[in-house]
Amino acid sequence: MAKTVEGLYYSESHEWVKVDGNVAIVGITDFAQHAMGDLSYVDMPEVDDELEAGEEFGAVESVKAASDLFCPVSGTVVEINEELEDAPELLNQDAFANWIMKVEMSDPSELENLMDAAAYEAMCANE
């Protein structure tokens, strides 16, 4: 039911990472938006926030619950997607076309700790 995109990295906490040079573009997966239902708020990090891999950096919220977001790789936030502040529903419409933040990676080797699309799909199938 939920789709994935080839060529991205995936975390166990349902974030995706697209690598652009030394920058990690981070969003939530289609599986995650589907599980949450209609989103009404995205709690964004701030530019220049320094994040460790696995650190909470914000949240997506539906009517009934808040779900924390965890940074898949260490680094510094260089840009946030301000469009989501007024239109969180964009994540429901297309979770892969709408990123949440861009992180300048301090240790790109951490990408190896993440999953590829096939491994992520297998994990979701067990949830």
Partner 1 sequence: MEENLLKTCLYDKHVALNALMSPFGGFIMPIQYTSITDEHNAVRNHAGMFDVSHMGEIFVSGPDAEKFVNHIFSNNVTGIPDGKILYGMMLYPNGTVVDDLLVYKEFEPDHYLLVVNASNIAKDYDWICAQMDGFDVEVVNASDSWGEIALQGPETEKFAVETLGLKPAADLGFYTYYETEWKGARMVVSRTGYTGEDGFEIYCSHETINEIWDILLAAGVAPCGLGCRDTLRFEAGLPLYGHELSDEITPLEAGLGMFAKIKEKDFIGRDALAAQKEAGLTRKIVGIELQDKAIPRAGYPVEVNGEQVGTVTTGYRSISTDRSVCVAMVDKAYTELGTQVEIRIRKKVFPGIVTKKRFYETNYKK
The verdict on 87 binding partner 1 (CB under 8 A) reads no
Residues 126 and 22 sit within 8 Å (Cβ to Cβ): no
Q: Which stretch binds partner 1 (CB under 8 A): 23-31, 60-68, 95-103, 109-117?
A: 60-68
Question: How far is it, in rounded angstroms, from Cα 19 to Cα 25?
Answer: 6
Q: Does 116 bind partner 1 (CB under 8 A)?
A: no
Q: Which neighbouring-strand residues pair with 43?
A: 59
* 29, 14 contact by CB (below 8 A): yes
Pick from 23, 43, 50, 54 the residue near partner 1 by CB under 8 A: 43
Looking at 1, 63, 109, 127, which residue binds partner 1 (CB under 8 A)?
A: 63
Site stretch for partner 1 (CB under 8 A), options 25-33, 63-71, 96-104, 109-117: 63-71
The residues that touch partner 1, with contacts defined as CB under 8 A, are: 37-38, 40-41, 43, 56, 58-59, 61-66, 68, 85
